[in-house]
Amino acid sequence: MLAVTVIAAILFLWTVLSHRLERWSITAPIAMMVAGIALTNGDDPPLRFDFDTSAFEHAVEVVLALILFVDATEVPQGVIRRERGLVARLLGGALPLTLLAAFLTALAFFPDRPGWILAALATVVVPLDLAPTSAVVRDKRIPARLREVLNVEGGLNDGIVSPVFLLCVAAAVESHTGSADYTEALLDAVGAAAWAVLAGAGIGYGAGRLLRRSWASGWTRASATRLGVLMVPVAAYTLSVFLGGNGFVASFVAGVFLAPSMRHLPEDAVATTDDLVALLSLGLWFVFGQMVNDEFWDGFHLSVVLYAAVTISLVRMVPVLLMLSGTGLRPADRLFLGWMGPRGVTSIVFGLLAAVELPDHSGDFISRVMVITVMLSIVLHGLSVEPLARRYASREGGRGAEVRGSVQ
């Protein structure tokens, strides 16, 4: 209970000083991470979390389920329709190439590690999270088109990577048993994904239709609608688990199918769920502070640092530049989209789950690489937002200029 009290006090202090702190690029995730590092450090720290419990694992899965749901529901449908060419290239082309590049790079840096472990590592370090550098989607000096496309990509890419992560972890566990029955592992993963899609699609679509009709008929109030939206990922998660599917994939699918109905509901229909997700995510950033103490300070492994540096730069930039060639976007804009791929909560959650699920030291290895990757991303991406925004402002001669060019 003391941990909850301390986290609540830190969050309250940040809210009191949030505007002033954000002037120095100290966002809430960064503040919580620093607090976690400070309060879980030492031989006898004031706070300590036990990651090796089923309760902690389920708690992390629920947090991820809610994050994926909110990401799916808050993706602006108008932007997807308007920028479907860019979105398709980034999610349908650049994302698979980035996963492949992360895997091949891992093979080069860690040739002694099993292939499925490196495949799981690739799915951990690739997903985007704009929260640590939230200024990038609010800064009107950066062209609106770029900010909107990044927002859509950040909202959908983690849900796309999730089933791939589950498959890689399942195969890694199977390979460790010695039976190497990858067919069974693949069939189990496909079956779990199928149940998740069915549960999520059914609940998301059905709940969306009911909420939309109820609101249009005057049968409900805005406050009740907010609670109803919160129950959608809960129902999708629990039903999927009961059927043998994966809960957080089901929650993401439920959000995708609920999203079209959201524009017919009150504007703040997802506000309660969003606030809960923000609170739980900040708690994870505090936990990440302990992971930093466990992994980051335990000696620097040059190969890990180099892999993390390459992953947050070239591994993403090269596929993005390739897929955006011929779109009419300026080279500087393509470079911006390629560079601005910060890592955050999704990588942390995947890293925690990998540490729990994978045997021997494989989970610790993935956890260590994830910690270094997220730390480097926070520093490098965070520091680059302001210079990039100033460059756009000086180039366009004003704020909020639109990007020239169109997707072919």
The 8-class DSSP code of residue 133 comes to G
Please identify every stretch of the chain with a pLDDT value under 50, giving residue numbers as ranges.
Answer: 398-408
- Would residue 14 count as lying in a domain? yes
Q: What pLDDT, on the 0 to 100 scale, is given for residue 298?
A: 61
Q: What pLDDT, on the 0 to 100 scale, is given for residue 299?
A: 60
- Would residue 331 count as lying in a domain? yes
Q: How far apart are CA 369 and CA 227, in angstroms?
A: 38
Name the residue type at position 97. Answer: L
What CATH number corresponds to the domain at position 105? 1.20.1530.20
- Would residue 403 count as lying in a domain? no
pLDDT digits (tens, 9 = 90+) for 22-70: 666 667 788 888 888 888 887 777 777 777 777 788 888 888 899 999 9
- Would residue 404 count as lying in a domain? no
Number of structural domains (the chain) is 1
- Would residue 351 count as lying in a domain? yes
- Would residue 171 count as lying in a domain? yes
- Would residue 408 count as lying in a domain? no
The 8-class DSSP code of residue 83 comes to T
Pair of tokens at residue 166: 């589950």
Q: How far apart are CA 260 and CA 346, in angstroms?
A: 24
- Would residue 245 count as lying in a domain? yes
pLDDT digits (tens, 9 = 90+) for 345-367: 899 999 988 888 887 688 889 99
- Reported for 120-123, long-range contacts at CB under 8 A and 24+ positions apart, including other chains, are 120/165, 120/168, 120/169, 120/172, 120/354, 120/358, 120/366, 121/354, 121/365, 121/366, 121/369, 122/168, 123/99, 123/161, 123/164, 123/165, 123/168, 123/350
The domain of 208 spans 2-396
